[in-house]
């Protein structure tokens, strides 16, 4: 079986998630290629070595450039901070590597375009880590919509709200700095819900956005009694128009007290409605307008082996899969895409399209007018 | 005890609700005035007589003008179709009656302004039937916000969605005709959620709206094989800015499959969040950010005697009050307002303010730009 | 229309509920008789007079014997403390009155038998206030079961849990005294869930029970530093066998922290399952095993005009009816039963049957063996 | 680091779960020993070889006796059918292996006693696969109870309901045969909830049980038009008494339509209550009676890094762990127990205690009397 040799850059929050997914993927799925955890890069050799061992990678390096140019690497997996995505991806592409990047693809549309163009010209494969759409429950939502079970989609409401910055005493970190993060909640969180809207409904053509930095200053992590400016938005909302005529709204916040994993959506069609929240990731609520009078209602479907990809984890319904399992589905797509040329999506082109929507919202919010995406 | 003699115009959907509330109000509350169900007007004398008997009114008339000019009437209660509110209210005011009108106050801001001005000049008292804010659960939400328990409000998301026109085969009725209804879902449904936003958060200063008529033609009720145009919006959404700096979104739809009583809100503050849906009208979910680590979460408060007005219905928590009970609270406000000059809100000025917001959304949607309210 | 003249004894917790229901019933329903709130009895003339006025009764008395013998009374409505039910009912029956009694019918099976026999011999009509089964949602449950939609019932789990005595510092009151209350949680609460089991599933033939007084002493309300014994059970559970072969369990507690109106049931059939909790009294969850694979799940049905009795309160689904509205349905049954000989259930025979089940559980718990009901 | 060499017998439903957990455990946790997937046994060499490759085991065998006697094996992991547990475990113990067995430990108390005694005499370590208690959410429940946050436990209600045999057309398989399965729903499902009751509340001393085979015959899988007898119970219930004075009830069913993973519990204490269902395995509902009046309610805690073991999977709250992740926690306990002598529980002694409770329920149901465990 063809080997797919992974070079992973970064081992923090999402790197850990990738590592767990690499570890279990071959047991969960009958993959079309063999995962080889070849090399891990971190900011210094010691950390790299330590994490390589913890995460089951053979080699380690303190220099990501060494990794992207290594001839034994087939796929560069970028789990590094967002502001580095562009440079790393371009270097990896220059060396002919397939690139698997965490979201957001880049800090700006211009950067995302450069990355997408470079990948297309080099003929390498790309994948962006919008893992929530890989959850069997959201795959089920897609299936229900695609089969027309809820009719023609007329409305989408989606959020990605969390509260990791709800406390004003939380020191400023990279999330709040434009040079490191680009957009605020839009870039960090809303990227997921825009991708989900694309996946479930289709292209977004126009937006009218609004956004706000609620907590305008935060303590300097080096000197907590000194305040530093917050440079991007804490919350944002946008009216949407989709290419297929549907209307919609998305909202995002990083100060939404109580929302821990607040990716939610309501998709309304002419014949029914779907409701979902990622905090109950095993449940999809489905309403069908043509149900018999007196027996109408939202039905809570527990994801199970009748739904996409679930049975690989467990053959009993309702037993539940977790956050890292979504990433495992994504890595299945990566391996089968690279080893057997299976379709791989969301690719850089989708990552770019998400960036365009997010940037359009930000521009719209500043200029206070509708913007075409 | 001072008598408060009611003349009610209209006995349909909401008239029935008023009638039930009048019937029980004096048993539920120790009122400051005596409710006298004096006269009921309907479109003809026979129907008026029949409904007067069913609803416990002493006299009946087939001519509403007779009612509004009757010297034995203190309060004119308008449950007639929306397009008649203005004329009826102005006539009632001209005869010095207090006016209790169902929402929406009028079909246009101009009409609502005329009514509000007339009432102010005549010195009569006014009340508009935004009954959902009278639910003890939403009164509790108000109390929690007013006491600062969730900090400063930074975001409001509200909906009033129903699905009574989700079926395209439903014939066109007055809801879909501008001359009879004015706005569509905005006027019929969103009036409630705008009032709720005012009640819970404060004044709305700017809006960017969008709206859509999804089902553009419906069968003629007189000849089902002929189609008639739908003249107003099925769904609408708007970005909001509040005078206190909070941002927000409201949405409304009359084709939202599965939403039977979809008045919902999420109020996010700097220290906590409230979540509510009218379909579970006895429950308010409260999250407090300062709860101990590991013990944070949304707490489902079941309304009970510790909350406003509930104990008048039942002294045990969680036993539940219903739709008509909200109206009973409203009628308590009416009677105490008229008999003892207690404050009475939402009055015509609030009804006008709601109209201004709704009209601003409609204008914004047509002109595709932000509008100051 | 035939007058039905009510004499109500007691005006406390449940008396207030009856009064509200009497006030609204004729507006909600097209009754077959005219409700006349004729006389109210309380422990002294002053209280009786005050409550008669508040609740809309014409006459008042400080002596219930005067009420039960008054020739102008058709129905004696007993809202007095439980230990008085027997004497009052027997006296009322002796004077040929129809009797409407709150639950529990009596403190013992022997008393309930005497009352039931007396009523049968006198040919008067009887009704017991098990109002929860009058909720349209539970009527819907009954309809679903009766139509065979969930197949043959194989299991029933029901609770009636509350927490009104969860705090050990709450002084001892009549609930805790055998002479005044008879059984504890079984008599006060479980009576409802046993009636519901009868209504939804059928007769109970055998029980194995267990029970416990958890808080064995409580403060004397007259001298809080002195403790008095609690004389009946705080919690109880029982295995059940039904005459139709189904098995089941019921549980009850008055110290179940957090249960405010914890009447709940799960009815499992060979083809589906129903789930209900009174705290969400507008919702019934229905699972049908024959739903298509991949689209199975519990459907949350919001009660509406397609369901029994709901449309009399409101013609829109999901708008919600409350605790007192259930009692209003019950009073509709009372008036139509007395005025037009409509069937009236649950009658004293059912009240007796509930007592037999409760007493069997108590005996079973003491003797630690199965008991035939 | 000390190697822990695993020999796994069986690769079906639960074997797959073990395999996934072995694959990810070292990435998720910093283990105290190195997992070596040494050998896999199946019913024939071909299947064994195929599954060994799929699950990452080095060697394969068609004869489990070869595995248990192999000197390169430290731990024998028994995922074989229940009726083989005893023989395999005894053989493994005879060869000095540590034994990790799936539940139920054995088909009878006598067998479980023999196994437990043999393990104790041989001084080998044992672990039984009651994985649900390893979920961070149930660990949180344990923590809350242990800290006294809900006071003294006074009541436990637990279920383990599923519906895998709800359809009478499902052919008879080993689940329904005494020689292969022993008890029915009690053995297959209730074992988990009895273990959970032990974990959360403590020892069970007396039971009064009832049970029923609802579908008494099922199609022969070899000839579907022929019916074979079902030899054990479809559903069972029992009253419980705990050694610490609490009362309780457990129920189990394999025909509970709609229950996909119906392990649920409600633990009531003198100061609060916990509610849990495995179908929402990330949520624990906590009610505290001493919360301020008007602010009481069940709080839904989403499991996160503030709770036991969660942060190893993800450092953000509410992101969710799955069924296999529970098993991964269990395998962490296995490896650390074997490699570093960390405490390992639930061991065979607990498996035996669970068997005693289940057998007592079955005997009680047959003899229709209370049984001491």
Of A140, A293, A301, the CB nearest to C306: A293
Q: Which among D292, D300, C162 has a CA at the least distance from the CA of B143? A: D292
Give residue C226's pLDDT: 97
List subunits contacting chain C, requiring 3 or more Cβ pairs under 8 Å. Answer: A, B, D
Segment A210-231 mean pLDDT: 97
Compute the distance between CA of residue B16 and CA of residue B12 in angstroms, rounded to an integer.
Answer: 6
Of C293, C297, C301, the CB nearest to A296: C301
Do residues B258 and B145 share a domain?
yes
Do residues C158 and C199 share a domain?
yes
Do residues B9 and B126 share a domain?
yes
Give residue D255's pLDDT: 98
pLDDT in tens, A49-81: 999 999 999 999 999 999 999 999 999 999 999
* Interface contact B260-C28, CB threshold 8 A: no
How much is the mean pLDDT over chain B? 97
Give residue C348's pLDDT: 98
Closest chain B residue to C132 measured between Cα atoms?
B319
To the nearest whole angstrom, how far is the Cα of D273 from the nearest Cα of chain B? 13
Radius of gyration of chain C measured on its C-alpha atoms: 21
Of C154, C251, C287, the CB nearest to D157: C251
Q: Which among C336, C373, C337 has a CA at the least distance from the CA of C355? A: C373
The label of the residue with tokens 């009509």 reads C125
Give residue C97's pLDDT: 98
* Interface contact D300-B297, CB threshold 8 A: yes
pLDDT in tens, A75-134: 999 999 999 999 999 999 999 999 999 999 999 999 999 999 999 999 999 999 999 999
To the nearest whole angstrom, how far is the Cα of A138 from the nearest Cα of chain D? 15
* Interface contact D253-C268, CB threshold 8 A: yes
* Interface contact A289-B249, CB threshold 8 A: no
Cα distances from B338 to residues B3, B119, D94, D184, in angstroms, run: 10, 14, 91, 70
pLDDT in tens, B89-138: 999 999 999 999 999 999 999 999 999 999 999 999 999 999 999 999 99
Q: Which residues of A touch D20 (CB under 8 A)?
A: 24, 27-28, 313
Do residues C115 and C49 share a domain?
yes
Is D17 part of the contact surface with chain A (CB cutoff 8 Å)? Answer: yes
Do residues C170 and C204 share a domain?
yes
Do residues B85 and B163 share a domain?
no
Does residue C343 lie within any of the structural domains? no
Is C251 part of the contact surface with chain D (CB cutoff 8 Å)? Answer: yes
To the nearest whole angstrom, how far is the Cα of D190 from the nearest Cα of chain C? 16
Q: Residue C182: pLDDT band by 50, 70, 90 thresholds?
A: very high
Q: Which residues of C touch B16 (CB under 8 A)?
A: 27, 314-315
Q: Which residues of D touch B298 (CB under 8 A)?
A: 299-300
To the nearest whole angstrom, how far is the Cα of A203 from the nearest Cα of chain B? 18
Closest chain A residue to C308 measured between Cα atoms?
A294
pLDDT in tens, B18-69: 999 999 999 999 999 999 999 999 999 999 999 999 999 999 999 999 999 9
Secondary structure (3-state) at C305: coil
Give residue A17's pLDDT: 97
Stretch 275-304 of chain B: residues touching chain D, C-beta under 8 Å: 286, 293-302, 304
* Interface contact C299-A294, CB threshold 8 A: no
CATH code, domain carrying D8: 3.40.50.720
Give residue D48's pLDDT: 98
Q: Residue D227: pLDDT band by 50, 70, 90 thresholds?
A: very high
Instruction: Name the domain boundary from A131, A162, A178.
Output: A131
Side by side, the strands of the sheet bearing C75-78 are C59-61, C34-41, C3-9, C75-78, C98-101, C126-128
Instruction: Name the domain boundary from C80, C115, C131.
Output: C131
Do residues D112 and D164 share a domain?
no
Q: Which residues of A touch D23 (CB under 8 A)?
A: 23-24, 26-27
Give residue D228's pLDDT: 98
Radius of gyration of chain D measured on its C-alpha atoms: 21
Q: Which residues of B touch A289 (CB under 8 A)?
A: 163, 166-167, 257-258
* Interface contact A17-D314, CB threshold 8 A: yes
* Interface contact D295-B307, CB threshold 8 A: no
Do residues A152 and A254 share a domain?
yes
Do residues B79 and B221 share a domain?
no
Q: Provide the number of structural domains found in chain A.
A: 2
User: Which domain does B112 fall in, by range?
Assistant: 3-131
Is D150 part of the contact surface with chain C (CB cutoff 8 Å)? Answer: yes
Does residue A355 lie within any of the structural domains? yes
CATH code, domain carrying C184: 3.30.360.10
Give residue B201's pLDDT: 98
| Contacts of residue A286, Cβ cutoff 8 Å, sequence gap at least 6 | A144, A149, A150, A272, A273, A274, A298, A299, A301, C295, C297
How much is the mean pLDDT over chain C? 97
* Interface contact A294-C302, CB threshold 8 A: no
pLDDT in tens, C120-150: 999 999 999 999 999 999 999 999 999 999 9
Do residues A125 and A159 share a domain?
no
CB of A184 closer than 8 Å to CB of A173: no
Does residue D152 lie within any of the structural domains? yes
Side by side, the strands of the sheet bearing A34-41 are A59-61, A34-41, A3-9, A75-78, A98-101, A126-128
Is B318 part of the contact surface with chain C (CB cutoff 8 Å)? Answer: yes
pLDDT in tens, D19-42: 999 999 999 999 999 999 999 999
Does residue B321 lie within any of the structural domains? no
Do residues D145 and D29 share a domain?
no
Of B163, B214, B251, the CB nearest to A249: B251
Is C325 part of the contact surface with chain B (CB cutoff 8 Å)? Answer: yes
Give residue D195's pLDDT: 98
Q: Residue C11: pLDDT band by 50, 70, 90 thresholds?
A: very high
Compute the distance between CA of residue B219 and CA of residue B230 in angstroms, rounded to an integer.
Answer: 10
- DSSP per-residue string spanning A154-185: EEEEEEEE--TT-STTSPP-GGG-HHHHSSSH
Closest chain D residue to C252 measured between Cα atoms?
D155
CB of A267 closer than 8 Å to CB of A155: yes
Strands B272-277 and B262-269, how do they pair?
Answer: antiparallel
Does residue D323 lie within any of the structural domains? no
Over pLDDT 70: what percentage of chain B?
100
Do residues C156 and C96 share a domain?
no
Q: Which residues of B touch A148 (CB under 8 A)?
A: none
Does residue A326 lie within any of the structural domains? no
Q: Which among C326, C42, C55 has a CA at the least distance from the CA of B29? A: C55
Does residue C206 lie within any of the structural domains? yes
Is B262 part of the contact surface with chain A (CB cutoff 8 Å)? Answer: no
* Interface contact B56-C26, CB threshold 8 A: yes
Query: C283-308: b or e for each residue (b if 16 or more CB lie within 10 Å)?
Result: bbbbbbbeeeebebbbbbbbbbbbbb
Give residue C231's pLDDT: 98
Of A157, A210, A369, the CB nearest to B251: A157
Q: Residue C111: pLDDT band by 50, 70, 90 thresholds?
A: very high
Q: Which residues of B touch C280 (CB under 8 A)?
A: 280, 282-283
Give residue C373's pLDDT: 95
* Interface contact A251-B157, CB threshold 8 A: yes
Instruction: Name the domain boundary from B86, B102, B131.
Output: B131
To the nearest whole angstrom, how far is the Cα of A2 from the nearest Cα of chain D? 15
Interface test with chain A among B148, B159, B208, B286, by most A beta carbons within 10 Å = B208
* Interface contact A313-D20, CB threshold 8 A: yes
The whole-model pTM stands at: 0.98
Cα of B189 vs its chain's centroid, Å: 8
CB of B4 closer than 8 Å to CB of B342: no
What residues pair up with C158 in beta bridges, in sequence order? C250, C265
Mapped to the 3 state alphabet, what secondary structure does C306-369 carry? CCCCHHHCCCCCCCCCCHHHHHHHHHHHHHHHHHHCCCCCCCHHHHHHHHHHHHHHHHHHHHCE
Helix or strand holding residue A16 (H, E): helix A13-28
Q: Residue B183: pLDDT band by 50, 70, 90 thresholds?
A: very high
| Contacts of residue B151, Cβ cutoff 8 Å, sequence gap at least 6 | B269, B270, B271, B272, B289
Give residue A219's pLDDT: 98
Does residue D213 lie within any of the structural domains? yes
């Amino acid at each position: 079986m063809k080997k797919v040799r992974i070079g992973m850059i970064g081992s923090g929050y999402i790197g850990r998630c990738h590592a767990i997914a690499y570890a279990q993927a071959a047991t969960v799925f009958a993959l079309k290629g063999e995962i080889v955890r070849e090399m891990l890069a971190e900011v210094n050799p010691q950390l790299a070595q330590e994490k390589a061992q913890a995460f089951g990678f053979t080699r380690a390096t303190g220099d990501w450039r060494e990794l992207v140019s290594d001839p034994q690497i087939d796929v560069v997996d970028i789990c590094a901070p967002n502001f580095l995505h562009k440079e790393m991806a371009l270097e990896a592409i220059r060396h002919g590597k397939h690139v698997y990047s965490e979201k957001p693809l880049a800090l700006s549309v211009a950067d995302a375009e450069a990355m997408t163009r470079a990948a297309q010209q080099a003929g390498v494969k790309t994948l962006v880590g919008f893992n929530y759409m890989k959850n069997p429950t959201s795959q089920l939502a897609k299936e229900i919509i695609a089969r027309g079970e809820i009719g023609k989609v007329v409305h989408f409401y989606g959020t990605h709200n969390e509260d990791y910055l709800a406390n004003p005493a939380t020191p400023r970190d990279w999330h709040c700095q434009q040079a490191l993060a680009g957009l605020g909640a839009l870039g960090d969180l809303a990227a997921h819900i825009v991708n989900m809207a694309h996946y479930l409904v289709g292209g977004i053509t126009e937006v009218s956005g609004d956004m706000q930095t609620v907590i305008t200053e935060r303590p300097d992590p080096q000197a907590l009694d000194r305040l530093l400016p917050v440079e991007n938005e804490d919350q944002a909302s946008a009216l949407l128009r989709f290419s297929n005529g549907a209307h919609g709204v998305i909202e995002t916040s990083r100060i939404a007290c109580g929302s821990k994993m607040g990716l939610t959506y309501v998709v309304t069609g002419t014949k029914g409605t779907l409701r979902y929240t990622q905090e109950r990731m095993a449940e999809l609520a489905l309403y069908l307008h043509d149900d018999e009078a007196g027996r109408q209602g939202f039905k809570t479907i527990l994801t199970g082996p009748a739904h996409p990809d679930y049975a690989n984890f467990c053959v009993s319904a309702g037993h539940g899969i977790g956050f890292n399992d979504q990433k495992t589905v994504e890595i299945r797509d990566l391996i089968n895409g690279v080893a057997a040329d299976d379709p791989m999506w969301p690719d850089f082109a989708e990552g770019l399209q998400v960036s365009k929507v997010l940037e359009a919202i930000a521009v719209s919010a500043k200029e206070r007018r509708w913007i075409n995406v």
